[in-house]
């Protein structure tokens, strides 16, 4: 599978997706979004891929935002469809069934911040910058920014970022819970690979069900979320991996999981 605007490769059970428009600071346009949708559909179907790392080409930007020249041409009807198509791609990333780690290696503004927030976790380089500056263009975030940002950092902080359109540093993003870790830029991918390695060592179905429990449970009342958790716990207990994991623990050896 070849793409024009992104790079896709797999290695050691990890999929690597790189948005490759460094001359445009990896800005998102419809072509990029379509290719991201195709790439993540393929990664979701590839049973050999257990985790994904998403980043941007170059050292300046993860994704600096949307392609404004394209956005400027949208009327009300086209803009709604534009937002819904983008939301569908980010929903696919969020609910891939496999962890996706965003390696934010520079600017993550507007759609770039929204893309990072759709990932399972976010690692940031020390020079990373985050923001939702859409109000400065007379619009609001349209790829889930008003919703995921609130869920990640709380209503008050989300309101400040969205309404003021201000940009924050990696250190501030870490402080408010927008990112998981801040690491030197040269170590960003290696740190993500280390986390992926720990995840890949675990039972594949347990990882998948844990992702479902957290992602879907967060949208439910507590009683319903607890019922979902119990149901998924029960499904885990019907797997061969559960039998292998418990047996390996009792036998004091490393488990060999098969994803069954």
Residue position matching structure tokens 């609130």 = 150
φ, ψ of residue 200 to 5 degrees: the values are -65, -30
- Please say whether the beta carbons of 50 and 14 come within 8 A: yes
Beta-carbon contacts of residue 16 (< 8 Å; ≥ 6 apart): 7, 8, 9, 10, 52, 53, 55
Say how far apart CA 168 and CA 162 lie, in whole Å. Answer: 12
Instruction: Name the residues annotated as catalytic.
Output: 114, 134
CA distance 226 to 56: 37
Q: Where are the alpha helices (DSSP H) in the chain?
A: 30-45, 68-71, 76-94, 111-117, 145-153, 155-164, 170-175, 188-200, 204-217, 222-236, 240-250
């Amino acid at each position: 599978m070849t793409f024009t605007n992104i790079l896709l490769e797999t290695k050691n059970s990890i999929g690597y997706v790189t948005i490759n428009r460094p001359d445009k600071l990896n800005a998102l346009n419809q072509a990029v979004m379509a290719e991201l949708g195709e790439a993540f559909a393929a990664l979701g179907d590839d049973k050999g891929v257990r985790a994904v790392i998403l980043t941007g080409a170059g050292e300046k930007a993860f994704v600096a935002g949307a392609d404004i020249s394209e956005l400027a041409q949208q009327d009300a009807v086209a803009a709604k469809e534009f937002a819904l198509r983008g939301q569908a791609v980010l929903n696919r990333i969020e609910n891939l069934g496999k962890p996706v780690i965003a390696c934010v290696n520079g600017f993550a503004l507007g759609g770039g911040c929204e893309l990072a927030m759709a990932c399972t976790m976010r690692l940031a380089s020390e020079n990373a910058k985050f923001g939702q500056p859409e109000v400065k263009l007379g619009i609001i975030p349209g790829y889930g920014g008003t919703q995921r940002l609130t869920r990640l950092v709380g209503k008050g902080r989300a309101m400040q970022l969205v309404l003021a359109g201000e940009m924050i540093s990696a250190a501030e993003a870490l402080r408010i819970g927008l990112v998981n870790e801040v690491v030197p830029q040269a170590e960003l991918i290696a740190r993500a690979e280390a986390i992926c390695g720990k995840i890949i060592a675990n039972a594949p179905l347990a990882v998948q069900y844990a992702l479902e429990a957290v992602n879907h449970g967060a949208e439910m009342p507590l009683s319903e979320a607890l019922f979902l958790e119990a149901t998924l716990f029960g499904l885990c207990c019907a797997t061969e991996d559960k039998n292998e994991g418990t047996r390996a623990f009792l036998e004091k050896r490393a488990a060999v999981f098969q994803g069954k």
